[in-house]
Structure 1
């Protein structure tokens, strides 16, 4: 049965009626994953005097995709040279390593081997090597190796391995430490400045409406004391960084964007599960090990960018895990009404752990043994699963890039849904970051830098330079904002 996309929108059932706003902020970021926090951090650094607020529906940062991935710092090997994924991955990689030199964040530049067995694998690695050499000043260094040279670096590799690509710039990072640090800097920046910034947890955006001078965003707090309570604020700039739910905000505006339901943004969900490993066959592994995307039959029928195979990653303590696999989820019914705390649950929330059947273990073990034959089935244990936001479904033949869509709050009827630049019509700006999957963690700081630069150029401009004293247009000050938060 084909996997159908989910077409969903904010306030689909009309439960949130329009409310007049009573608080004004400069920047509102929806979603406190690593990308949302990186954007908020970049905005607060550039404009510490402007109000930058982040709302997050969960009780902690990064509870969805950001905390359920391989925690790899990708070198930037795989994606088209002119893509957002390559641009932001290359820049973000260097920003992460630079940050780790000056801030308490755990990072290891362990390197990676992409390994192959066949002539087709060798040809793929040669193309990858040539591709990387053409990526400019931030191009990741790579080296082509024979099977014997690869085994000299990683003796546990299978004797069937005939070729490899060495990527020394690949690393690992603690995503939780990175997010904690980005959030802490919203209170006090490295230079000692206290920006006008804050993260508000347990709060969802339930409705968004255009306003001549910004966007009116209605929020709902999720706790027993405030269940059903709603607030409305106006933001000059809204950053939609809500990850798995990011298309919902734009889909709610489709009718106003010269569109109809056929132009709504599809939402696909790919579940990737990981297995931890304790046992023989990996005792000497010091690098990340990735099979080529077409290694064996594991990526049959899928575009190579959709699956990099069942690879070996290391955590910062040197522990081994394998994954992720790829399982497409079929959208199921969601609750018809919020729970007692006003929280609307998603169908995929029950999918955050591996479906550890005998068949799953067998498939995982078979994929691993093609390049690490000493790994034993008994040493595998289910670890965790993550859900990746996809803009295209299984079997898609085309590459799907990060999508950064910009909309102005004025003249919505003259704008398109898939609009990649902000029209010069004034009003507020909405930027939606869609399909931010791998290499999203690596790209996060660069995405934040880019959004802040675009906001500087296209929203605030010369009339509101960095450093100008803070002044709310409506004279709504910190006391009112603190009460809302």
Structure 2
């Protein structure tokens, strides 16, 4: 007999959203969430920039574009309903050189294609809106905001447990075996759990769990560390909006940006430097297993070759605060080295296929008794509520729940 009807692996915002929405749709089912850390949202969810993205950048018609647009509105409604602080500050995408102006226009077209409200901002208006920011022009996206996603996740967890769900922290899945009538899960303390079905939302470990079920043969999760700095208290009001550069379309990351945080301070970042451990939040963190798995994966080696120039630049920016500062000074020239104070880094779990291509959209695969979220890239936190609904749709249909 199974201990639970559904076990969701992963206590980040995507896993908790999925579990909550499964519990609402199937109230008679016994649902548990397994989280390897002692707290919820301890990794990607709790270590990001806290931005509620509007959905400017994403290919029209993609799951990213759809879920981000829906998720932005849903996140703000959820925060209003449950009294979680958030602010709709709006985002300025700032062009700092002439070659960025055509890219800015393409972003304007894409934002409109994604159904967003977007305004062109000239140089004078930019200075009026943000006196400390310099640029040739900008796009203003009113829908962008900020929130503490850790608080959102913990509130979702409370909703789940109040509905009868179970959350088990300090519970890492060490092995997973799909049987004819259940899925057996071996935990870090040796305990054996049985579930009728499993939904894996395991972030940086998504590929490992999927391989135990015969999936993910052609991809691997590659960790990228995003390093942030926090500006000192004298700079808490240096910007009112979220200030972003015009992103390089050849890269999957958005570039270093200035973000007012819910706590009242401002962060700068992140960069995107290859990490040598899946939980490698510090520069010197190395995990031999993680490193060996990356090195032997053909797609990783191809990715390195294809992106050697940008990769080396990111490493140099990581090693030199002065280089990092120069990225910020492009649009906020008055910042100085003494303004940059340490702030916790984050890890982005990036799926890469065998050809070295970084996967940009959400990827979900299934076996008879499991559903695996293999890629949940940014803006996964913003999109977590509609993603959870989507996964619940897939699981309900696939597992033949009434």
**Same fold flag (TM > 0.5):** yes
CA drift at 1:199: 0.3
RMSD, aligned CA: 2.5
Is the 8 Å Cα contact of residues 224 and 272 (structure 2) preserved in structure 1?
A: yes
CA drift at 1:94: 1.2
In structure 2, distance between residues paired with 1:398 and 1:456: 29
The correspondence for 2:105, drawn from 121, 126, 138, is 126
In structure 2, do the counterparts of structure 1 residues 57 and 143 end up closer, same or farther at CA, with 3 Å as the change threshold?
same
SS in 2 for 1:460: coil
In structure 2, distance between residues paired with 1:358 and 1:85: 28
Per-residue CA distance 1:344-381 (angstroms, 9 max, x = gap): xxxxxxxxxxx999943111211111111111211111
Which residue of structure 1 lines up, in the alignment, with residue 223 of structure 2? Answer: 269
Asked if 1:80 is matched to 2:27, the reply is: no
Q: How does 1:85-484 map to 2 (within 5 A)?
A: 85-135=64-114, 139-158=115-134, 161-188=135-162, 195-221=163-189, 229-233=190-194, 235-254=195-214, 263-278=217-232, 283-294=237-248, 303-304=250-251, 306-330=252-276, 332-334=286-288, 359-392=319-352, 400-408=360-368, 428=369, 430-461=370-401, 464=402
In structure 2, distance between residues paired with 1:407 and 1:52: 19
In structure 1, distance between residues paired with 2:89 and 2:15: 27
In structure 1, distance between residues paired with 2:144 and 2:161: 31
Larger radius of gyration: 1
- Aligned pair count reads 370
In structure 2, do the counterparts of structure 1 residues 179 and 282 end up closer, same or farther at CA, with 3 Å as the change threshold?
closer
In structure 1, distance between residues paired with 2:63 and 2:35: 25
Which residue of structure 1 lines up, in the alignment, with residue 298 of structure 2? Answer: none
What TM-score comes out, normalization by structure 2 length? 0.86
CA drift at 1:282: 6.8
In structure 1, distance between residues paired with 2:377 and 2:107: 21
Is the 8 Å Cα contact of residues 281 and 372 (structure 1) preserved in structure 2?
A: no
CA drift at 1:236: 2.6
In structure 2, distance between residues paired with 1:458 and 1:253: 16
In structure 2, distance between residues paired with 1:359 and 1:31: 32
In structure 2, distance between residues paired with 1:140 and 1:404: 26
CA drift at 1:397: 6.5
Is the 8 Å Cα contact of residues 228 and 267 (structure 2) preserved in structure 1?
A: yes
SS in 1 for 2:78: helix
Which residue of structure 2 lines up, in the alignment, with residue 66 of structure 1? Answer: 45
In structure 1, distance between residues paired with 2:129 and 2:231: 21
Per-residue CA distance 1:410-447 (angstroms, 9 max, x = gap): xxxxxxxxxxxxxxxxxx2x111123231111011111
In structure 2, do the counterparts of structure 1 residues 250 and 198 end up closer, same or farther at CA, with 3 Å as the change threshold?
same
In structure 2, do the counterparts of structure 1 residues 238 and 359 end up closer, same or farther at CA, with 3 Å as the change threshold?
closer
In structure 2, distance between residues paired with 1:214 and 1:99: 34
What TM-score comes out, normalization by structure 1 length? 0.71
Per-residue CA distance 1:315-344 (angstroms, 9 max, x = gap): 1133111000111124554479xxxxxxxx
- Larger helix percent: 2
